[in-house]
Amino acid sequence: MQFAPLFPIVYRILQPSFPHCLWCGDSNSKKIALTFDDGPHPQYTPQVLKVLEHYNITASFFWLGVCVNRSPHIAKAVKDRGHWIGLHGYEHHSFPTLSEIQLKQSLEKTQIAIYNACELQPQQLRDVRPPNGFFTPKTLQLFQQWNYRPVMWSVVPEDWVRPGVSIVVNRVLKQVQNGSLIVLHDGVCGGQDVAKTIKILIPQLLQKGYEFVTLDKL
């Protein structure tokens, strides 16, 4: 069962309820953010980089620490091309299932992995996207206490279940608006199609007048 039709409804409910999360940008601006979760991947992430470079676009990547450790050279390539880096946990565990200590260690281990690969200091890595989008008020309280910024989404085409490139593209085009924060995946689930998806999606969004920016500029 696919849940794609539910995500816009969930967004409209959660976004005003948790205003301290970054859900989207300025609705009066044509700036949008393209983000990728679950990488870096040795095959899929370089394919993404090639498409982004072709269109001279910067994006934002939320990484799993274990994947950074497996592919540090890919992580460095992403950083060297000026893309924004965020945290997605060390492994793809839902944050509410972790103890406070486990959650803190997961984020810090990911920061260490990124520092070793990219020489980005921990204070440069403050954006966190919870795996599966799952969080609780306690999770957000801990983020605030530890000086992290929770980053969520406004457009989720559910590409990780691989419904087909054209379906993912159409879902994004149907939902996108000023300030949209779009989530795609360049990891094991969904990464097989991501380069093909953005190769079709990016020129159509550019034609509509949207400007791609990283999260720090959204």
Q: Which entry of 41, 83, 88, 185 is annotated as an active-site residue?
A: 185
> Are 27 and 178 spatial neighbours (Cβ–Cβ below 8 Å)?
yes
Cβ neighbors of 145 (< 8 A, separation 6 or more) are none
Judging by DSSP bridges, how do beta strands 31-39 and 211-212 pair with one another? parallel
Please state, in angstroms and rounded to a whole number, the distance separating the CA atoms of residues 175 and 154.
Answer: 8
Please state, in angstroms and rounded to a whole number, the distance separating the CA atoms of residues 187 and 180.
Answer: 22
Judging by DSSP bridges, how do beta strands 181-185 and 31-39 pair with one another? parallel
Would you call 37 a catalytic residue per the annotation? yes
The CA-based dihedral angle spanning residues 201, 161, 151, 102, taken in that order and rounded to the nearest 10 degrees: -150
Q: Give the residue carrying structure tokens 């992995």.
A: 113
Q: Which residues of 112-123 are buried (b: 16+ CB within 10 A; e: fewer)?
A: bbbeebbebeee
Would you call 185 a catalytic residue per the annotation? yes
Q: Which entry of 37, 38, 127, 186 is annotated as an active-site residue?
A: 37
Which ranges in 119-211 belong to alpha helices (H)? 137-145, 165-175, 191-207
Please state, in angstroms and rounded to a whole number, the distance separating the CA atoms of residues 39 and 24.
Answer: 22
What amino acid positions are annotated as catalytic residues? 37, 185
